[in-house]
Amino acid sequence: MSFKITSSPHNRISRSTSEIMLLVVVACIPGIVVQAMLFGYGVLVQLLLAIATAWLAEAMVMRLRNKAALIRLKDNSALLTAVLLAIAIPPYAPWWLIVIGTLFAIVIVKQLYGGLGNNLFNPAMAAYVMLLIAYPLQMTQWLPSVSLQPESLNLFDAVCAVFTQYSCSGFSISQLQTGIDGVSMATPLDTIRTDLAAGKTLTESLQQPIFYGIAGAGWLWVNLAYLAGGLALIKLRVIGWRIPVAVLGSLFAISLLSWLAAADTNPSPLLQLFSGATMLAAFFIATDPVSASTTNKGRIVYGVFIGLMIFIIRKYGGYPDGVAFAVLLANMAVPLIDYYTRPRTYGHKAKGAGK
Amino acid sequence: MPSLYQQIQAGKLWDFHGGVHPPTRKAQTAQKPIAVLPLPDRLYIPLRQHIGVAGNVLVSIGQRVLKGQALTSADNSMAVPVHAPTSGTIVTVGDHTSAHPSALPENTITLAPDGLDEWREQYPLNLATSDNSSLLERIQLSGIAGMGGAGFPAHLKAGLTQPVDYLIINAVECEPYISADDALIQEGAITIVKGIDILCKLLSPKAVLIGIEDDKPAASAALKAACSQREHYYVRDLPTKYPSGGEKQLIQLLTNKEVPAGRRPIDIGIVMLNVGTAFAIAQAVLDDHPLLSRVVTVTGETLSQPQNVLALIGTPVSDLLNFCGYQHKQPYKVIMGGPMMGFTLPDLTVPITKTTNCILAPSKHELPPAAEEQDCIRCSACADVCPASLLPQQLLWYSKAKDPVKLDEYNLFDCIECGACAYVCPSEIPLVQYYRVAKAEIREQQRESVKAEQAKARFEARNARLEREKQQRMARNQRLAQAREQAQQTGSNSNAVAEALARIKAKQTEQNSVPADREQVLAERAAKKQQARAYQAEKAASEPHAESEPAPVAQDEARQEQPAADEPASAKSAAVAAAIARAKARKAAQLQAEQQDKVVEAEQTKQPEATEPASEQATTDPRKAAIAAAIARAKAKKQADSEKP
């Protein structure tokens, strides 16, 4: 008769890492649905491509590292990375773009650093930035929302567009990008930046049809959907409240100040919060546990830093949205933030209190 | 702003960082009466069931002992005795699987009960007329060690002389499943309060705070009723949260104070004892009933009748399980202690000790085995629940990296191993196990480095001594050489002849005057004896500190001083020379005698000769003399044998 010898504790909470990752993916679904409805089905094609690539890449690297592939695939972290990257890139970007991006995210950003838990940078955002720098044209081909598209694309069109860059009826992506009025349209944030650079006032810029609604046609709804998913994650205690609140709070505060100071050249706080990838970043990207700060105080610092960087990059930077860069910059600062925000251990004096 | 004491009096409670809420599962056992276990066939009583040193065994194999009779002595303040839990015969004294996570064999007395349960004589003390020292002695001799799990000798806590603000009685019992204290309080609250009275007499605290979790309403009510006549005894219901019962956590909950790192609660005026210990103290003092048994929760889904039992110390776990209807298809796990901090047993012969509060035999479904460890995703759920406000994920990282400097910086040694971090870890990383290994490695390294330091100190001391001796030798040689030179320069030829004559004369008189020589030898011997005694005393003085590091060095120094002291008074060398001369003379005499009559008498003549030096030396060193005599005898015999034909 032999008994099993194990180390205490002998009981555990039932939620596992793979469940946490899966819950985050599930919380993305409202946003994905809204995105597919308002910006076309391209995002679904991108998702499938990204997930397939991510799984293959993860399994391949695990094989190379002589580790069991299945248990790593089951942790769902590759799945989550793929999903986040797929929803971040333009829905009708060419197929090889997402494949290259996902491979980069999984193989280089994650596995070359030692795999899950060891990567310094958020894999999805690092891949996004890599794509943005390497393929700026393809990465800015955001189509206007469906209501503004001259041709409506069905699911088959989406597949054709992603793989051939032409819809089944033969329209090229750049043709599709051109609005009803014959003017090529970028994202709302991009439009504002271009217009302000051209000397227009914000009010003039907002006259354009793309700004139908509070934050640009369609974008408000996408952001609301991610907000809902994010709140659900907080409610389920999958993510903490500190990082999202710090990101949104700091972005709101600084854009409010700038808007009050010069409303003509600064978008309103609401537009900042509900346009671009703000909500996605605050709830789904900045909260990635691996690359975020791990102390409670540190999370606030980390979130505020991201919020401020989003504002600065949007206002002064050369790219349509600042989220990816902001997150990567904050990732770099994490070891430092963590080091200086360590909590006071029981029975020890606070740092700086002297001995 | 009310003072801390006023706040405590008003019933204010504080909180500690983190904590978890595992399912408590106490209902199966808490409401049932405590069952008394039938007498087992054998009792296995480990000599050391507390923190400290084991006492010396007082009994021999085959001896009959009475219930309550001490089996070991308590001749050291860190020792508490163990007692015969019932009358019976000592079967063996030897190794038995220990009630320790390592399960290493441990010196254990095996007792075969005779079923009579016959008591030794008992001498109850009267609290009003006993002084503190007799109370403390009674507590120590009754073998009482902290019954909450740590097993710290109770007389050391009760005998603290520093001023005590708060005496905290720990009735929290925050580990899931365990209800031993709960049941004990429900049935023995009055005795517990008597025990607290004794502690108050010894420690005279400002107030007594009794902490109990709010999932034990019956026990809490019983305590409150028992305390109703006492002033400054406060029963405090704490919200159920693990690990509220940790010493540091309970202090924080009740007083908002923190024990500074590396210090003890008494340093902030607090003494904490477990409620079971208070009960045992009352029994020991008022009934002269030493610690012979304790309440143990026997629970888990593999048992048909989970319940609390009163088990004799030394009862094998199998007896408890069988009594409670243990049934299993295939053995899974048996845990001593609770699911959070308990350890698994390798077999069921492990005995109940003074610190065993629970035997948990779960089913696989109940406490499933841990899945394969996954990668840490740095979610820091562990940091959120850590009651010591540590950063467990950083500690894991540095434990894996074996980085003692960083581990120290992140306060690894403040980890109380409560298991909350591993409980919440989504990647199922056995964090506590990593910390235990890291701690053990660091301790080992520290031991090694201390050893290395000692070796270095010894080596350097030895080198210094050799150098010093060399210098002394050279100085002496130089001195003698100078003297010789001087003598040669001053002396003339005629003088040299006269001197040579004088030397010869002196030698002749020396040889003739044996009695004088003998006296001189005796005087030398006395001086030598004194020296040896002084050396022994010095050595004895340095030996008790053998554990502390300077000991070997001190010994070395003592040794170094020896030759230095000898040097000027060269009594030793004179004695040696004399001895050699004697031996030579004897040998010559012997040779002569042998030549005169080679025959059988040889043995007879040698006998007194051989014994003579022995009797001489007997005063200095009887053992050496005996050996010398034996050798001489043997030689004589050999010689006689060889000369026979």
* B400 and B447 belong to one structural domain: yes
Does the pLDDT of residue A193 top 80, yes or no? no
Q: Which of B102, B379, B411, B427 to mutate to test the interface with A (most CBs of A within 10 A)?
A: B379
Residue A268's pLDDT is what? 84
Q: Are A251 and A283 in contact (CB under 8 A)?
A: no
- Give counts: helices (H), strands (E), chain B: 20, 14
Share the mean pLDDT of chain A.
85
A121-125, A189-193, A283-287, B359-363: segment of lowest average pLDDT: A189-193
Does the pLDDT of residue B578 top 80, yes or no? no
Report the distance separating Cα B81 and Cα A155, nearest Å.
83
Copy the structure tokens of residue B308.
């609390």
User: Can you give the CATH number for the domain in which B280 is found?
Assistant: 3.40.50.11540
From B288, B311, B339, the end of a domain falls on B288
> Taking residues B117-136, what's their average pLDDT?
92
pLDDT category of residue A203 using cuts at 50, 70 and 90: confident
Nearest by CB: B344 against A3, A11, A72:
A3
Residue B345 neighbours by CB under 8 Å, 6+ apart = A3, B103, B317, B334, B335, B336
> Taking residues B148-163, what's their average pLDDT?
91
pLDDT category of residue A149 using cuts at 50, 70 and 90: low
More confident residue, B392 or B506: B392
**3-state DSSP call for residue B495?**
helix
A2-16, A207-221, A324-338, B224-238: segment of lowest average pLDDT: A207-221
Among candidates B314, B317, B312, which has minimal Cα distance to B294?
A: B312
Please check whether residue B506 lies inside any domain of the structure: no
Please check whether residue B347 lies inside any domain of the structure: no
Looking at CA atoms only, how far is residue A128 from chain B in angstroms? 21
Residue B644 neighbours by CB under 8 Å, 6+ apart = none
* B466 and B538 belong to one structural domain: no
* Residues recorded for chain A: 355
Strand (E) or helix (H) holding A20: helix A17-39
Provide the percentage of residues in chain A whose pLDDT is more than 90: 51
Q: Are A8 and B376 in contact (CB < 8 Å)?
A: no
Q: Are B375 and A117 in contact (CB < 8 Å)?
A: yes
Structural domain that includes position B426 = 378-485
Does the pLDDT of residue A209 top 70, yes or no? no
Q: Are A322 and A311 in contact (CB under 8 A)?
A: yes
Query: Which residue of chain B has the CA closest to A15?
Result: B426
The interface predicted TM-score (ipTM) is 0.85
Among candidates A101, A96, A174, which has minimal Cα distance to A142?
A: A174
Please check whether residue B225 lies inside any domain of the structure: yes
Copy the structure tokens of residue B425.
């870890």
* B165 and B282 belong to one structural domain: yes
* B580 and B639 belong to one structural domain: yes
Looking at CA atoms only, how far is residue A349 from chain B in angstroms? 8
Task: Identify the bridge partners of residue B112 per DSSP, sorted by sequence position.
Answer: B89
Please check whether residue B215 lies inside any domain of the structure: yes
> Taking residues B465-486, what's their average pLDDT?
93
Residue B317's pLDDT is what? 96
From B468, B485, B502, the end of a domain falls on B485
Among candidates A185, A171, A92, which has minimal Cα distance to A139?
A: A92
Does the pLDDT of residue B572 top 70, yes or no? no
Copy the structure tokens of residue B540.
């004895």
* Residues recorded for chain B: 645
* B236 and B185 belong to one structural domain: yes
pLDDT tens-digit map of B346-365:
989 999 999 999 999 999 88
Q: What is the dihedral of CA B548, B550, B555, B560, to 10 degrees?
A: 180
Does the pLDDT of residue B113 top 90, yes or no? yes
pLDDT tens-digit map of B98-112:
988 888 999 999 999
From B288, B323, B352, the end of a domain falls on B288
- Please tell me the pTM assigned to this model: 0.77
Query: Which residue of chain A has the CA closest to B101?
Result: A7
* B466 and B615 belong to one structural domain: no
pLDDT tens-digit map of B189-203:
999 999 999 999 999
Share the mean pLDDT of chain B.
86
Nearest by CB: B377 against A12, A71, A289:
A289
User: Looking at beta carbons, which pairs linking B278-281 to residues 24 or more positions away fall under 8 Å?
Assistant: B278/B169, B278/B192, B278/B195, B278/B196, B278/B199, B279/B184, B279/B188, B279/B191, B279/B192, B279/B195, B280/B142, B280/B144, B280/B147, B280/B154, B280/B195, B281/B139, B281/B142, B281/B144, B281/B154, B281/B158, B281/B195, B281/B198, B281/B199
A203 part of contact set with chain B, CB < 8 Å:
no
* B413 and B531 belong to one structural domain: no
Report the distance separating Cα B427 and Cα A248, nearest Å.
30
User: Looking at beta carbons, which pairs linking A81-84 to residues 24 or more positions away fall under 8 Å?
Assistant: A81/A54, A81/A105, A81/A106, A81/A110, A81/A123, A81/A124, A82/A47, A82/A50, A82/A51, A82/A53, A82/A54, A82/A55, A83/A25, A83/A28, A83/A32, A83/A47, A83/A50, A83/A51, A84/A28, A84/A124, A84/A125, A84/A280, A84/A284, A84/A285
Task: Identify the bridge partners of residue B234 per DSSP, sorted by sequence position.
Answer: B209
**3-state DSSP call for residue B620?**
coil
Domain count for chain B? 3
Nearest by CB: B377 against A5, A290, A348:
A290
Report the distance separating Cα A157 and Cα B355, nearest Å.
73
Residue A67's pLDDT is what? 85
The residue assigned the tokens 């907000």 is A227
Task: Identify the bridge partners of residue B272 per DSSP, sorted by sequence position.
Answer: B168
> Where do the H-state alpha helices sit in B62-179?
132-141, 154-158
Does the pLDDT of residue B494 top 70, yes or no? no
Residue A353's pLDDT is what? 41
Does the pLDDT of residue A179 top 60, yes or no? no
Does the pLDDT of residue B481 top 50, yes or no? yes
Residue A189's pLDDT is what? 75
Question: B176: which chain A residues are within 8 Å (Cβ-Cβ)?
Answer: 11
pLDDT category of residue B321 using cuts at 50, 70 and 90: very high
Question: A20: which chain B residues are within 8 Å (Cβ-Cβ)?
Answer: 377, 379, 426
Letter for the amino acid at A49?
L
pLDDT tens-digit map of A4-36:
778 888 888 878 888 999 999 999 999 999 988
Please check whether residue B105 lies inside any domain of the structure: no
pLDDT category of residue B610 using cuts at 50, 70 and 90: very low
Please check whether residue B354 lies inside any domain of the structure: no
Does the pLDDT of residue B251 top 50, yes or no? yes
Supply φ then ψ for residue B265, to 5 degrees.
-55, -35
More confident residue, B273 or B75: B273
Please check whether residue B221 lies inside any domain of the structure: yes
pLDDT category of residue B94 using cuts at 50, 70 and 90: very high
- Kindly report the number of other CB atoms within 10 A of residue B27's CB atom: 10
Does the pLDDT of residue A334 top 50, yes or no? yes
> Taking residues B445-469, what's their average pLDDT?
94
A17 part of contact set with chain B, CB < 8 Å:
yes
Please check whether residue B153 lies inside any domain of the structure: no
* B477 and B537 belong to one structural domain: no
* B182 and B233 belong to one structural domain: yes
* B27 and B173 belong to one structural domain: yes
- Kindly report the number of other CB atoms within 10 A of residue B309's CB atom: 26
* B193 and B276 belong to one structural domain: yes
Copy the structure tokens of residue A90.
């333009």
* B393 and B464 belong to one structural domain: yes
Question: B345: which chain A residues are within 8 Å (Cβ-Cβ)?
Answer: 3
List A residues 266-305 in contact with B (Cβ-Cβ < 8 A). Answer: 289-290, 292, 294-296
**3-state DSSP call for residue B374?**
coil
Question: What DSSP character marks residue A284?
Answer: I
Q: Are A115 and B375 in contact (CB < 8 Å)?
A: yes
Q: What is the largest CA-CA distance in chain A?
A: 84
A353 part of contact set with chain B, CB < 8 Å:
no
